[in-house]
Amino acid sequence: MQLGGWGGGVGDGNPFVTADVLGKTLQRQGAKVFSFYFKELHLLGAEMSMSAALVDVSSALSRLDKQSPDKSPHRANEPYRRAISGIYARLAATAEKLDLGEPPRHPVGPAPAYDGPDALADDLDIIHDSLVENALADLADGRLRDLRRAVDCFGFHLTSLDMRQNSTVHEHVITELFKAVDADTDYSGLSEEQRVELLVAELGSGRSLLRSGWKYSEQTRSELDILQAAATGRTALGDRAITTAIISNTRSVSDILELAVLLKQVDLISPEGDCTLHIAPLFETIADLRNCLDIMDRVLSIPAYRCLVDSFGGLQEVMLGYSDSNKDGGFVTSGWELYKAQMGLIDLFARHDVKLRLFHGRGGTVGRGGGPSYDAILAQPAGAVQGQLRMTEQGEIISSKYSNADLGRRNLEILAAATLDATLLHENQNPPPPEYMAVMDDLSKDAFTAYRDLVYGTEGFEDYFWSSTVINEIATMNIGSRPPSRSKTHKIEDLRAIPWVFSWAQCRLMLPGWYGFGSAVEKWLADNPDKGAAFLQELYLQWPFFRTQLSNIDMVLSKSSIAIARRYSELVADEELRKRIFERIQAEWQCSIDAVLKISGHERLLQANPLLERSMHNRFPYLDPLNHLQLELMKKYRRESENPKVLRGIQLTINGISAGLRNSG
């Protein structure tokens, strides 16, 4: 198991991610894990006071003992303790070398610094092996075992930091770099084929595109500094300090090659084709998901890029965006396009003989790809897991799942169990029958039409959304990694997916988690009277993907409240607009509930999950008043020209409602 994070490394719209911030992030993480190692080594030394007169040691442990700077006569006959003192001294020298702070206790003497975490792990292994060889295995299974596991998981870096930037920024930087070395090269004006040809040639070139003393734009200078800081951080803390560079908004082969050329400028890629970072294209929108197969097929067919993949053990990482695809096309279409993209990528990578690692950019809420993790992993197509799984845990989900140690362990066990289950028991399962795929194509098409027509095709919808939800107040909270909108407009297209989903949850509609499903089912039943509801019920019983999708819709609808949502709609000043849009949403809400019950054969929502049903009914008496309180505070806040005390009250209700709704809020 490896842990990673985005804080301090993911730009993509966050102006505060700079080279300085990235460097300080790596330093603070390193200092944190070193302080833990120092504490554990001190306690371990207290436990390992066995005398050589009573226990035997291995030859390797004996050498470690003799190399230790600990020459105290009080420990002359305590080989394990002296070996640990030597490890402590080497770790202290390493901390000083890497500028990670001083140890809480002075080392017993000078010692050489470690080259990396593997050398520390080797010394701890020597202690472990000596204990096991000499009938002291019980001592090896306590604090020493936990420390060895910690070093294996956390290294010198604590968590692996991802870098992420938008493809348009990479294009801007590359354009400047080429212009600096050749004034006649206008990269931005080239066709896609011309760009690919130029970038491939540059990957194999021995020259640098960086010109000393050249005056680059602020954006280009910042991006180059970030890449250099990443290279420096990896050298200091190890290769796992930064493992992946993600390309947001990947829409062409050149988007992938641009990042490769940029990494080459700071020696993270060599002219010989050795790559030290995973280059992970991120496919986010519905159109991107549909185009990802063609893009990956073309880029893997380029010998220069394939050389980079092969240098990484033949492994290519691909990130799939759940949040933006949902905002773009609605829950049904997003889920289906993600499923089809995975199926296609699995077959494509098998043809290219390349290992595929899918990186699931799931949010905590159902509207952003969330929901029960175990079911979600098993619902993926065969071959999507392949013994490894990379996924995001974001925002309030981190607090709800991992703030308690026992609960955190349980959630990690669920992920591990699902990964093993999907790999060993479901790897060779048959693909869904063509008729199942055809039904989902029809449902997806009609749900997409209904969703897009409401969100992007209805006049006045933007005004309705900004007035009837708490989106303006959410923007005041310091809880996001990036601004809520990509630009200073009220366009839904510019709004980021997280506040979009979060806002609909707060007003208890959870619209991104179900809208379009009911009308799609209704139309399919009308167009297929010969098959009818019985066929959809067969899909529900036989197909894990369809069953999981329906289960998530069931859960989201059960947490919605049309009565409370109606009160939020009253915040819209235009009565005609309010009535026109809310009645349309209400009709689809009821239609979706009817569709879920008809397909599942249940009489009420959550009938198949009585534990969650009971939990929700216990929460509603506390949750509903928070919504009513939030509404009154929003009216007061908007009426009284943004009173900061009232805003604080709104923010508290936002937090409370989110906690109560959990993976729907």
**Percent of the chain residues past pLDDT 90, beyond the cut:** 72
Q: Are 619 and 607 in contact (CB under 8 A)?
A: no
Phi and psi at residue 287, to the nearest 5°: -65, -40
Task: Look up residue 158 and give its DSSP letter.
Answer: S
Q: Which tens digits make up the pLDDT trace of 313-341? A: 899 999 998 888 888 899 999 999 999 99
Query: Of 265, 254, 189, whose CA–CA distance to 221 is shortest?
Result: 265
Alpha carbon separation from 433 to 436, 535, 602 (Å, rounded): 5, 13, 25
SS3 of 351-404: the string is HHCCEEEEEEECCCCHHHCCCCHHHHHHCCCCCCCCCCCEECCCCHHHHHHHCC
Cα–Cα nearest to 170, from 285, 276, 284, 261 = 261
User: Residue 375 — pLDDT band, cuts 50, 70, 90?
Assistant: confident
Q: Boundaries of CATH 1.20.1440.90 in the chain?
A: 29-154
pLDDT for position 476: 67
Q: Which of 9-13, 38-42, 154-158 has the lowest mean pLDDT?
A: 9-13
Q: How far from the centroid of its chain's Cα atoms is residue 473's Cα?
A: 25
Q: Can you tell me the mean pLDDT for 279-284?
A: 94
Q: Which two tokens stand for residue 595?
A: 């569709």
Average pLDDT on 202-226 reads 92
**Which is more confident, 168 or 369?**
168
Q: What is the mean pLDDT of the chain?
A: 91
Task: Check: CB of residue 241 under 8 Å from CB of residue 160.
Answer: yes
**Segment 264-293 mean pLDDT:** 93
User: Which pTM value belongs to this model?
Assistant: 0.89
Q: Residue 215: what pLDDT?
A: 92
pLDDT of 527 reads: 96
Residue range 82-109: mean pLDDT, rounded: 95
Q: Alpha-carbon distance 273 to 9, whole Å?
A: 25
Residues 409-432 have a mean pLDDT of 84
Angstrom distance (rounded) from CA 373 to CA 418: 8
Per DSSP, the three-state class of 127 is: helix
**Residues 505, 665: contact at Cβ < 8 Å?**
yes
DSSP characters over 259-297: HHHHHHHTTSB-TT--B-SEEEEEE-SHHHHHHHHHHHH
Alpha-helical (H) ranges within 98-142 are: 117-133, 137-140
- Which of 79-88, 353-362, 385-394 has the highest average model confidence (pLDDT)? 79-88
The three-class DSSP label of residue 9 is coil
Pairing of strands 390-391, 4-5: unpaired
Architecture of domain 29-154: Up-down Bundle (1.20)
* Of 365-369, 441-445, 633-637, the least confident: 365-369
Distance of CA 91 to the CA centre of its chain: 32
DSSP states of 316-342: EEEEEEHHHHHHHH-HHHHHHHHHHHH
Each residue of 505-527: pLDDT tens digit? 999 999 999 999 999 999 999 99
DSSP string, 438-506: HHHHHHHHHHHHHHHHHHTTSTTHHHHHHHHSSHHHHTTSTT-SS-SBSSSS--GGGB-HHHHHHHHHH
**Which residues 6+ apart lie within 8 Å of 328 measured at CB?**
284, 285, 286, 287, 334
> What SS3 class is residue 542?
helix
Q: How far is CA 441 from CA 321, 327, 330, 436, 591, in A?
A: 20, 19, 14, 9, 20
Count of CB atoms situated within 10 Å of the CB of 423: 18
Question: Which H/E stretch holds residue 563?
Answer: helix 562-569
pLDDT of residue 394: 73
d(CA 377, CA 397) in angstroms, rounded, equals 17
609-624 confidence digits (pLDDT tens): 999 899 989 999 999 9
The confidence band for 122, taking pLDDT boundaries of 50, 70 and 90, is: very high
Q: Look-up: residue for tokens 């050795």?
A: 274
Nearest Cα neighbor of 326 from 363, 280, 357 is 363
Spatial separation of the C-alpha atoms in residues 446 and 254, rounded to whole Å: 33
580-593 residue pLDDT tens:
999 999 999 999 99
pLDDT of residue 483: 56
Q: Which range among 49-63, 121-135, 167-181, 474-488 shows the weakest confidence by mean pLDDT?
A: 474-488
Residue by residue, DSSP assigns 42-65 as HHHHHH----TTT----HHHHHHH
Q: Answer yes or no: is pLDDT of 202 > 70.
A: yes
Q: Please say whether the beta carbons of 331 and 515 come within 8 A.
A: yes
Mean predicted confidence (pLDDT) in 415-435: 84
- Per the structure block, which two tokens stand in for 580? 């026109």
How confident is residue 2, by pLDDT bands cut at 50, 70 and 90? confident
Confidence of residue 488 (pLDDT cuts 50, 70, 90): low
Banded model confidence at residue 665, pLDDT cuts 50, 70, 90: very low
- Categorize the per-residue pLDDT at 364 as very low, low, confident or very high, splitting at 50, 70 and 90: low
The pLDDT of 82-91, averaged and rounded, is 96
User: Is the Cβ–Cβ distance between 623 and 661 less than 8 Å?
Assistant: yes
Name the helix (H) or strand (E) containing 41. helix 19-47
Residue type, 65: D
Is 592 in contact with 515 (CB distance < 8 Å)? yes
